[in-house]
Amino acid sequence: MLSPQEIDQLRITASEARTHAFVHRTGFAVGATVLTLDGQYFGGCNIESIISGLGACAEVAAIDHAVVHGHYQFKALAVIGPRPIFPCGACLQYLSLFGQVSGQDVFIVALDDDSFETKLLSQLLPHRYLTANNLEAIEAYRQR
């Protein structure tokens, strides 16, 4: 379970990241935060491109931000937008790889300025692809 303090910090970090969203096409700014198993928060924002498919979702940006800093095990991922939104299927699938690192399910939190809803990754993407290939190499990231 997530504590009220964790929810508050997820909201603060995601809101701050959202202010940096590069959304020249849609104006739909999204911020995200991942909470690592060791209690650190990493934010990300969505980045649009004029070329379709070259942008980045806020969730992937937050995950990549954590990975750049050597963190591979996540307790939660939160998303904040103009209304509460959950991650798309591609972002959930990307996150599921890191769930295999820790061997744990990940809390997903849809936020707006006043409210939130929490689900588990396994609830939102029950048929996600879990690889058996290179599983030992993936799980080795628990020790990093």
Q: Which residues pair with 111 in a beta bridge?
A: 80, 116
* pTM score, whole prediction: 0.95
Residue 95 phi, psi (nearest 5): -65, -35
Cβ atoms of 102 and 66 within 8 Å: the answer is no
pLDDT tens for residues 11-63?
A: 999 999 999 999 999 999 999 999 999 999 999 999 999 998 899 999 999 99
What one-character-per-residue DSSP string does 29-90 give? --EEEEEETTS-EEEEE-B--SSTT-SB-HHHHHHHHHHHTT---EEEEEEE-SS--PPPHH
Predicted confidence at residue 132, as pLDDT, reads 83
Average pLDDT of the segment spanning 86-112: 96
Predicted confidence at residue 53, as pLDDT, reads 86
CA dist., res. 134 & res. 144, Å (int)? 17
pLDDT tens for residues 54-98?
A: 999 999 999 999 999 999 999 999 999 999 999 999 999 999 999
Predicted confidence at residue 68, as pLDDT, reads 98
Domains in the chain with CATH codes: 4-143 (3.40.140.10)
CA dist., res. 139 & res. 106, Å (int)? 16
pLDDT tens for residues 118-140?
A: 999 999 999 999 888 888 999 99
